[in-house]
Amino acid sequence: MCHSILLYGAPIWRCATETEAYIRQAEAVHRRACLRVISGRPHVSYDATYVIAGVPPLALLADERARIYQRRPEDVKEEERRETLRRWQDRWDRAPKGRWTHRLIPKITEWVERGHGEVGYYLTQLLSGHGYFKSHSQRYDNTLSALCPACPSTIENAEHVFFRCPRFQEERERLQQVLQEEIEPENITRLMLMTAGKWLAPCKGNRDVFKFTESCLVYRTFISQNFCYPLGRWWRRHHDAKTSWWLEVRYSFRRIHTRFNS
DSSP structure string for 158-178: HHIIIII-GGGHHHHHHHHHH
Element housing 105 (H / E) = none
- In one-letter notation, the amino acid at residue 231 is L
By the 8 A CB rule, do 67 and 82 touch? no
Q: Tell me if residue 254 falls in helix, strand or coil.
A: helix
Q: To the nearest 10°, the Cα dihedral for 48, 107, 38, 62?
A: 70
pLDDT in tens, 71-107: 888 889 999 999 999 999 999 999 999 999 999 999 9
- In one-letter notation, the amino acid at residue 106 is P
Measured at the alpha carbon of residue 119, what is the angle toward residues 117 and 123, in degrees to the nearest 5? 115
pLDDT of residue 128: 94
Residue 7 CB neighbour total at 10 angstroms: 19
Rounded distance, CA 177 to CA 191, Å? 12
pLDDT in tens, 33-61: 999 999 998 889 999 999 999 999 999 99
pLDDT in tens, 223-257: 444 444 444 444 444 444 444 444 454 555 555 54
Rounded distance, CA 210 to CA 249, Å? 16
Rounded distance, CA 115 to CA 11, Å? 30
Those residues whose C-beta lies under 8 Å from the C-beta of residue 38, and which sit 6 or more positions away, are: 49, 52, 53, 119, 120, 124
Domain coordinates in residue numbering, the chain: 2-113, 121-227
pLDDT of residue 33: 92
By the 8 A CB rule, do 163 and 185 touch? yes
pLDDT in tens, 109-164: 999 999 898 999 889 999 999 988 888 777 777 767 888 888 888 998 999 989 99
Among candidates 13, 14, 11, 53, which has minimal Cα distance to 30?
A: 53
Rounded distance, CA 44 to CA 115, Å? 25
pLDDT of residue 220: 54
Q: To the nearest 10°, the Cα dihedral for 231, 236, 238, 240?
A: 130
Res. 108: pLDDT tops 90: yes
pLDDT of residue 79: 94
pLDDT of residue 221: 52
Rounded distance, CA 53 to CA 2, Å? 14
pLDDT in tens, 178-207: 888 999 999 999 999 998 888 988 887 777
pLDDT in tens, 204-224: 777 777 776 666 655 555 444
pLDDT of residue 14: 87
